[in-house]
Structure 1
C-alpha cells in the first residue's frame, strides 16, 4: 500500500499541468486543468516529423496583465511574489497614467489593434482619436471602440493635443510619410512593419525620432509575445544545446495586384522570418543567398532566403503569395528543437518533452479579430507604454538598429531578385523586341508611312505644314547641302 501511494504521488508531480505566472512557475488551481485529473491529454501535433496522438504532458502559461475587473494576477499572494513569481512584480498596475492613442488610419489591422487594447487595463490605454478617408468608416470605428475625436485628415489628427502616441497602419509605401508627419507634431509612433520601404527611408525616420526625443517602434509584435520570451529563456539556459538551424515558411494566396500595394512578398511576409532568425542567433548574418520569382510588375511573388551566421549556423526562410504553405518554424539545436505554427504569434510550442501553451488574454471575452491571433498585439501595446513612461525612445524588444538591419536585408534581397528600383540593374531593355512589338499592333505595315500618321500642324505656332510632296522636295534639298559645323567653343 505504501508503495502504491508513493507511485501515485510521483506520477501526479511528473505529469501534472503547471501554470506559469509572469513567465515563472506557480501553483495552478484545479479548475484550470482542462486535460484531466492527472494533467494528461491526447494532444494532436501537426508537425509532420513528430509522433502523433500520444499522451504528452502540457504546461500552461497565463498572461501577465491586470484583470479588467479584478486584482492583478501578479498580486495573487505575497508568497508568489516573494518566491518564484517575484520577477513579475514590475508588471503590476503601478500607476494610473493613461496612454492616449490615435489611429491612423482606420483599417482591419487597426480594428484588431483596438480589440487588443480592450483586453488591457482601461486605466492604461485609451483610443481618443482616429482618422479615415471616409467619414462613415471613421464614425463606425469610433462607435465600435468608443473614440471621442474623428477626423478625415491625417494632419488634423497629428495636431490633436489629446494624442500621445499614434498607431500607423496604412499601405506599406505610406509608412514613411506618416511617420514623419506624426513626429513633426511631437507624437510618439508605433508603426506597423515594415517601418519604411528602403533602408535610406528608415535612417531618416530614426534620425528624426532621436532628434526630437520621441519614441518610435516598428510594429514587430512577435517579439513581445510570451512564447518568444520562453524561447529566449530556453536558449539562455542551453536547453537546446548549440543552435544550428532555423527554418520557417509562410505562404498565403494573394492576388498580384494586391500584393503590389504591400511592396512584395519579402516586405510583407519575409520580415517575420528575418526577425525570428535575428532573434535566435542575435548577430548580423555573414552572407545571404536568394532565389525567387518576380512578376511582370517587378514585384516579388516568391522567395527562398538563406542567411548564414557564424559557426555554420543557417536560417532558411521560404515565403510565397502563390499558395498556402505550412506556416511553421523549427528552431533546431544540437540537443533538441522547438516547433511552432503561426510563428508570428505562436500560442503553442512543441518540444520532445512537452507542449507549452500560451493562451491569449481575454480571448473568451474580446471581440473576434479579423486576422489570426491578433489579440497578441496587446503585449506590444504594453511594451510601448512601458517605454514611453520610462522616457525611452526605443524598445529593447525590437531596437532601432534591428529595424535598420532588417531594412538592409530586404534591400539586399530585392537587389538579388531585381525588384522595384533594382529591376533596371538586372533587366537590359531589348530594343529590337520593343520595335517588333510596336509593329505587331499595326494591322497594315504600310499605315506607318501613310498620311494618317504624319503631323499636319505645328502645335507650338499653329502653322499648317506644306503638303507631303512639298515636304519630300524640301527633305531632298536639305540632304544635298552640307550641314554646318557646330562650334565647340561656348558663346
Structure 2
C-alpha cells in the first residue's frame, strides 16, 4: 500500500496543458500519441477507457501556429542553441499603404493587429476623424504621417493604396463608393451595406474599376476557421447535421439603433459560420424576433434550412447575455467554438486545439476581445491585391451578396427599418364581411335580395338587369288531362 501511494505521488502530472509547437507552415497539428490501443481516458490519461467523457471536460490541448510561413531566429550561446520567438516571414512584395476612415475603437484595434505583422508588409500612412484632436492622437499612437478631417481629402491622398472603413453601419455604403471612385482598394467592416440593392451596386463598381473590395468578415481568415474547414473536408465529423450558435450581450437601445439592429450586428456571425460549414445556399429561412418602438430588432431566432435535412439555429439578443458559443454537430462527432466570432480554440470530444494569437510576450492591448486576429485578414487583403484579385476566397463577393439577401429577408419578416412601413395588403374576406348595404326603404331591400335568381332546370343565373314579371317568377302548374 505504501509503495502504491509513493508511486501515485511521484507519477508525472498528465492533467496539465500540453502544448505542441507546430513546425508546419500550413498550421496542421501533430496529435500527441495515444497508447497502444489508441484510446484516451475520460480525464486525459493515455491508453485508458473512453467511458462517458464528453466535450466539456478538461482534455489535452494542441498548440497551433498561424497558417502563414514564419521564420525563427536562432543564436548560439556556448554549446546551446537558443531558439527565438516565431516571426512572420518577409517576402519581397511592396508595402501596402493603409488609410483609416475614420478613427474609431475598431480602427485602433486594427492598427494594433498590423503592428504584429512585418513593417515591410503593412504601414498606416493616413487617417481621418471628425475632430482633429482625435486624428492627431491616433497618429501619435501609430506613427501616421497624414491627418485629415475630411473623408474626401483622404480619398484623394496619392500615398494610400487601401482604406480600412469602420464608421457606423449605415455609413458603409457611402464611404465605400467614395473610396472606389478615387481608385482605392477597400476593406469595409461588416455589414458591407444595409440592403442587398446597395451591395449589388457596390460590387458592380468594384468589378468595373478593377479594385479589391472585401467585407470585413475577419473570422474567416483566422487559423481556427481554416482548421475547422480542414476537419470537415477530411470527414472527421461525418455527415454534417446541425450548427447551433448563440450570441447575446446587453446593448443600449440607442447604440443598437446606430448599428442597424441585433441581426445586422450579431446575427451575421452565426449565418456566415453556417455558410462556411455547409458551403451551400439555404433552401429556406425561418425567423421570429422582437422589435422595439423604433422598428429596430432587439432579439431574433433564425433557422436556416439546407439540403439533406441540415439546419443552422442562430439565437441573438441585445437584452441579455447568452452562452456565446457555436457547436457544429456531425454524425460522427462535434466541435465547439467559444466566442466563435473570434475563436482561438476548437474543442472536440478527444482533444482541444489552441490557436494562440501572434505577438509573442509583448502583445499590444486591444479594445475588443481577440482583435489581434485581424492581422490574418490584413495579410489576406495584401495577398489578394498582390495577385491582382478583386475579391477574397475566404469571403467572396457572392457570399456578401447572399448574406445581404438573407438580412433583407429577416428584416422584412420582422418589420425592421424601412420594412416596417409596408403597403398593407387588403384583406378581401374581411372587407366582404364588414360591408353593409344601406337601404332606406325596406321594400327596396326585399327586392334587392331577390334580384339574382337561379333557374334550377338550366342551372343558369338570371342577370340582375333582366326584369322579370311576378307571374313569370312563379312556378307553372301543369294540370293532368
Q: TM-score range by the shorter chain?
A: 0.7 to 0.9
Asked whether 1:62 is paired with 2:65, we answer yes
Report the structure, 1 or 2, having the larger helix content: 1
Deviations 1:226-280 (A, max 9, x none): 0000000000000000000000000011111110000000001110001000000
Provide the residue aligned with 2:124 in structure 1. 127
* Aligned-partner Cα distance in 1 for 2:358–2:231: 23
Work out whether residues 31 and 62 of structure 2, in 8 Å CA contact, stay in contact via their aligned partners in 1.
no
* Aligned-partner Cα distance in 2 for 1:119–1:277: 30
Provide the residue aligned with 2:386 in structure 1. 389
The alignment yields a C-alpha RMSD, in angstroms, of 2.9
Query: Which of residues 423, 427, 432 is equivalent to 2:420?
Result: 423
Work out whether residues 176 and 205 of structure 1, in 8 Å CA contact, stay in contact via their aligned partners in 2.
yes
Asked whether 1:18 is paired with 2:20, we answer yes
1:63-142 → structure 2 map (5 Å cutoff): 63-64=66-67, 72-73=71-72, 92-142=89-139
Distance 1:311 1:149, change over 3 A: same
Query: Which of residues 221, 225, 246 is equivalent to 1:224?
Result: 221
1:312-461 → structure 2 map (5 Å cutoff): 312-362=309-359, 364-425=361-422
> How many pairs does the alignment contain?
386
**Higher alpha-carbon Rg:** 2
Q: Secondary structure at the match of 2:368?
A: coil
Q: 5+ residue gaps in structure 1?
A: 1-10, 29-39, 42-48, 77-90, 430-491
Work out whether residues 55 and 350 of structure 2, in 8 Å CA contact, stay in contact via their aligned partners in 1.
no
Work out whether residues 172 and 192 of structure 2, in 8 Å CA contact, stay in contact via their aligned partners in 1.
yes
* Aligned-partner Cα distance in 2 for 1:134–1:427: 45
Cα shift at 1:424? 1.7
Cα shift at 1:365? 1.4
Query: Which of residues 180, 184, 193 is equivalent to 1:187?
Result: 184
Provide the residue aligned with 2:254 in structure 1. 257
Asked whether 1:160 is paired with 2:157, we answer yes
Cα shift at 1:402? 0.3
Query: Which of residues 194, 198, 201 is equivalent to 1:204?
Result: 201
Residue range with higher mean Cα deviation, 299-308 or 357-366: 357-366
TM-score (normalised: structure 2): 0.76
Cα shift at 1:63? 2.3
* Aligned-partner Cα distance in 2 for 1:106–1:411: 29
Work out whether residues 55 and 347 of structure 2, in 8 Å CA contact, stay in contact via their aligned partners in 1.
no
* Aligned-partner Cα distance in 2 for 1:365–1:397: 29
Cα shift at 1:99? 0.2
Q: 5+ residue gaps in structure 2?
A: 1-12, 33-43, 46-52, 75-87, 427-481
Cα shift at 1:187? 0.2
Q: Secondary structure at the match of 1:258?
A: helix
Q: Secondary structure at the match of 2:380?
A: helix
Distance 1:155 1:284, change over 3 A: same
Work out whether residues 118 and 366 of structure 1, in 8 Å CA contact, stay in contact via their aligned partners in 2.
no
